[in-house]
Amino acid sequence: MSSIERMEYVNISGPAGLLDRTLRVISDSGSFHIEPASKVIAPSEDSYVPHDDDPYAPALAVLADISSMCGIKYSEVPCDSLKNASLQRMFKTVNSIKSRIAKKSNDMQYASDRLNENEQALTQVEHLMGLDVDIRSLMSCTSFRVSFGKLPKDSYEKLSYYEDKPFVFILLSDDDEYCWGVYFSPLSSAKETERIFESLYYERVEIPGFVHGKAEDAVKNIREHIEKYTKRRDDAQKALDELIKENKSVLCEHYTRLTELHELFALRSKAVITGDRFDLVGFVPKRSAEDFRKAFGELPEVGVMMKPSDKFDAISPPIKLRNSKLAEPFGMFVEMYGLPSYDGINPTTLVALTYTLLFGIMFGDLGQGICVCLLGLFLWKKKNMRLGAVMTRLGVSSAIFGTLFGSVFGTEELLVPVYRSMGIDFLPFRSMENINTVLYGAIGIGVAIIIISMLVNIVVKFRQKDFESSVFSNNGICGLVFFCALIFGVVSAFMGKNVMKGLYVPLLIILPLILMFFREPLGCAVAGKKFRFENGVGDFIASNFFECFEFFLGYATNTLSFVRVGGFVLSHAGMMAVVISLTEIYPHASPVIMVLGNIFVMCLEGLLSGIQVLRLEFYEIFSRFYDGSGRPFVPVKVNFGEHPENT
């Protein structure tokens, strides 16, 4: 069964010089949820919260620089060899490695930049192969404006319109889109010529300064440079890879050690130092309390004081859920909504049962259920996804209800001989032939779940001594009596019996409604508190009248909301009936239609059923008794995956 882990409040006190060693013991224990001690310990003249600059940040920044330079990903590794290493020594080591990596990285980057320059230049100069003059001499001409570039082909054809203009365009080469060439223009007409070519979408090509000689010689020279810089880049990359490989383990060791020291140093801000002593406060699970105390055996100067959280109300205890193996994966839905309060209830088992039941009914198919189960098993075991564990359980439920419905991948005839051989005549249950039964059954399940939710609310609120909610609210005893009386009356009327007579209506309907109307003053009276009409009697009557009317409508809408369960049973059967019909219309493609149709229905119906059941859980169940105001239990530990240098 599910429950909430009981917590022990812990106060740790000792000499200030042992604070770092104490934090190490706390981290190694893996069971201590730390709180700021300043929340508990009153400030005094000689007390302070340590907020020193982190001495390990510069070394971690160097590791981050190394990661960004070469893409190395750090991982947690044993670092016993660095347990006694000084910070200065570790900083010197990682800085030395950074310098060597930076040098190799700069060599590779230089070669890559030169290679890119030459490759771009080659692309441009190859289009000038028809130019049998020295390119650099031509570019340095002072008598004419000279420009290399390219024109769209349709623009090149329009040059004939400008035959009277003082410029010459020499075509050197062309391709499917552009004409490449060079134009000459007198300096006096240079601006006009430039405007003309701009209107023709001319793109100027910049010839790099290192290109000289005739185009043919320039291309040959550039190709030699490309070959040289390619080899230089590859050699630099190889040297860099070898350097990284040689130092990867050293870097990971330093990353592990420095991260540990960095995170433990950050925890110092949780302490309060008074004089020459420190104080730390937090919580440990009751089951781990004795082991936690024993962990301080090597620090006899450090005192560990514990007491039950129930007897300490300065800080609300964190929440750690205890769930059975079957229910544990459904804790993700509880966490999604919000953890319960410490004196509340862990609803994971209830969620597991109701979610599995409702999903199985809505998605009842033996074949598809097995597929969902196998997919969930893969995601759970191979991908470590909690959702996969949930899908495994839902798939089993779907397969069970699919067996009752006689549906195997949408085919409802395969299991008929099995049931007949067993002498079971009332199965399989065909939902499309029993629509009223399906819808009434869904409402019946909804009524049962609502009643269970009300009973849970009554127990929880009684435990919290909230008598207004446990007795007089719409989800308390009065609401339960009112709801059950209405449901019984409606069901009796459908069966041809009238129970709405005598004392039934006054005692079971009117009286609970009156008590809910006066729930606030009655709750205060039971709790021994004085009630005040804050906004006057008239406002009290008006607001409570409409709230009671809303309660009545809520009972109706909440109950009818479960009709969607029956609706999905029918829609699932209907969609598979369409798939079966298509296989009959197109028999030559029936295997493909059957496979694709089942995949489509599994994806669509599975997603919609999961969302709708989750809606019922949150809005029809949780809203009756659950507050979700708790905060998670987070034990102190080193988080190696949350630092910039490792992302």
Q: What is the dihedral of CA 623, 319, 325, 335, to 10 degrees?
A: 50
Q: What is the pLDDT of residues 536-565, one digit of tens each?
A: 777 778 887 888 888 888 888 888 889 988
Cβ burial 299-330 (10 Å sphere, 16+ → b, else e):
beebebebeebeebeeebbbbbbbbeeebbbb
What is the reported pLDDT for 644? Answer: 46
CATH number at residue 208: 3.30.70.2750
Q: Check whether residue 203 and residue 275 sit in a common domain.
A: no
173, 197, 213 — which closes off a domain? 213
Q: Answer whether residue 15 is part of any domain.
A: yes
Reported as a single tens digit per residue, the pLDDT across 135-151 is: 777 677 777 888 888 88
pLDDT at 164 over 80: yes
Is 590 within the bounds of a domain? Answer: no
Give the number of domains in the chain: 2
Out of 163, 197, 213, a domain closes at: 213
Q: What is the pLDDT of residue 158?
A: 86
Among the listed ranges 217-221, 378-382, 436-440, 638-642, which one has the minimum average pLDDT value?
638-642
Q: Which of 150, 152, 182 is nearest to 167 (CA)?
A: 182
Rounded distance, CA 591 to CA 597, Å? 10
Which residue, 256, 289, 320, sits at the end of a domain? 320
92 phi-psi bin (left φ>0, alpha ψ -120 to 50, beta other): alpha
Q: In this predicted structure, what is the pLDDT of residue 641?
A: 60
Identify whether 20 is part of a domain.
Answer: yes
The amino acid sitting at 443 is I
Whether pLDDT at 647 is above 60: no
Distance CA 450, CA 447 (A): 5
Beta bridge partners, 280, equal 12
Residue 336 half-sphere exposure toward CB, CA atoms < 13 A: 14
Structural domain contains residue 168: yes
SS3 content of the chain, % helix, strand, coil (to 5): 65, 10, 25
In whole angstroms, give the CA distance from residue 263 to residue 23. 10
pLDDT of residue 280: 94
Give the model's pLDDT for residue 1: 55
Q: Average pLDDT of 275-299?
A: 92
pLDDT at 172: 81
CATH number at residue 311: 3.30.70.120
The percent of residues above 70 in pLDDT, for the chain, comes to 97
User: Could you tell me if residue 258 is inside a domain?
Assistant: no
Q: 165-174, 583-592, 629-638: which range is least confident on average? A: 165-174
Mean pLDDT of the chain: 86
Pairing outcome for strands 272-274 and 7-15: unpaired
**pLDDT at res. 320:** 92
For the stretch 481-501, pLDDT in tens is 999 998 888 888 888 888 878
**Per-residue pLDDT at 83:** 83
- Asked whether residue 33 is assigned to any structural domain, the reply reads yes
- The mean pLDDT of 177-195, rounded to a whole number, is 86
Q: Would you say residue 600 lies in a domain?
A: no
Alpha-carbon torsion (47, 51, 52, 56), positive or negative? positive
pLDDT band at residue 130 under the 50/70/90 scheme: low
Position 169 pLDDT exceeds 80: yes
Q: What is the mean pLDDT of residues 410-423?
A: 83
Q: What is the pLDDT of residues 218-275, one digit of tens each?
A: 788 888 888 888 999 899 889 888 998 889 899 999 998 898 889 888 899 999 999 8
According to the model, what pLDDT value does residue 645 have?
47
Distance CA 36, CA 14 (A): 16
State the residue range of the domain holding 166: 133-213
pLDDT tens digits along 73-124:
888 888 888 888 889 999 999 999 999 989 988 888 888 888 888 887 787 7
pLDDT in tens, 91-102: 999 999 999 989
pLDDT > 90 in the chain, percent: 28
Residue 577 forms part of a structural domain: no
